[in-house]
Chains A and B, each alone.
Chain A
Amino acid sequence: MKSIIRFIPLILFFLLAVLLYRGLFLNPQSMPSAMIGKPLPNFELPTLKSIEQRVGRDDLQGDIVLLNVWATWCIQCKYEHPYLLNIARDPRIKLYGLNFTDDHKAALNWLKQYQDPYVFSIFDEQGALGLDIGVFGAPETFVIDHTGIIRKRFAGPINDQVWQKEFLPLIETLEAEMAAGAS
């Protein structure tokens, strides 16, 4: 009995050490979005390229929609941009942009300068749609399934590693779901 008590501090120390060691490798930015499993809220906003036109939820066509939140003030968006051009070629998905609280002219210049990977970009100058889907920064990428439900939010820039690990498995799951639904 006494020898067990003697080891309690050591055991507690190891428990704490394991806990803190794990904490070293957690990413505080990767918070689960509260919007997962909820439908994409409707909106009525202009697109970046034609400010008179209004688009809404139903204009995001495609079975698997990726909605990428970007802005010219966002440095990491510049980093992920070449990879987005890559993703846009994937026939399984449709990539849309959400230009978030940005300057209209600067945003148009950005697309001219670095090419445009998006089917179109929603121009959300006030951040209204951003607020509705719980955006807290850029870049963020949402995956919306064929029924209009938000299935994933990834905060941070996408690169090849992220794409393989975070997105491809989900895209395969969604394809399987659609195949099951159609048959």
Chain B
Amino acid sequence: MQNRIDSKSLTLQHVIRLFISSMLLSVVWVTSVNASPVDTFEFKDEATQLRFQVLSKELRCPKCQNQNLADSNSKIAVDLRNNLYNLLQEGMSDQEVIDFMVYRYGDFVLYRPPLKEKTYILWFGPLIILFGFIIGVIFVLRKRSQVKVNEHDLSTQEQANLDDILNKP
């Protein structure tokens, strides 16, 4: 009898252990499925890997226009990631890589457009709109407070009437 209980608890322990390990394993699987495009690049050092990650987020995929290179699985994004990898492995600096891409694909590949005449409206447009909005709000508020003061001005007759009503028992 004693023996049987022991063996039973042992199997239960096994089951629990199996359950926990399978849960852990499934967590590992889920995370690897969630990761966006997986490339198997081997970098010469960690700094290069970090630069790759930053640049592939800063550079925009020319075909799929609202994704960066890191997010996109389109053919051109894969090609450009490969290329970015090669350029970095060859020892190009960040600026050289960006110049390389801009020469071929234009400013469009940059998520952070350069400040120049053509992009003034991009950089300053929102500020101007915000400014206009603030000025408008100040204008309206001032006007409204003026109107309010006027509303409270009662003629002597009206004031007398009001006092009369308020003082009624």
Contact = CB atoms under 8 A, between A and B. Distances in A.
Contact of A34 (B63, B79, B102): B102
Contacts, number: 38
Given A32-B106, A34-B102, A131 B83 contact: yes
Contacts of B76: 135-137
Interface in A3-37: 28, 31-35
A108 B55 CA distance: 37
A33 B63 contact: no
B65 interface: yes
Interface residues of B, number: 15
Contacts of B65: 28
A134 interface: yes
A136 B62 contact: yes
A132 interface: yes
22 contacts: A28-B65, A31-B108, A32-B106, A34-B104, A34-B105, A34-B106, A34-B107, A38-B103, A101-B75, A101-B79, A127-B79, A130-B79, A131-B83, A133-B104, A134-B105, A134-B106, A135-B76, A136-B63, A136-B105, A137-B63, A137-B75, A137-B76
Interface of B: 62-63, 65, 75-76, 79-80, 83, 102-108
Contacts of A31: 62, 106, 108
Contact of B103 (A32, A34, A73): A34
Contacts of A136: 62-63, 76, 105
Nearest to A130: B79
Contacts of B103: 34, 38
Given A131-B80, A134-B104, A136-B76, 7 more contacts: A28-B65, A31-B62, A31-B106, A32-B106, A34-B105, A135-B76, A136-B105
A103 to B, nearest CB: 13
Contacts of B106: 31-34, 134
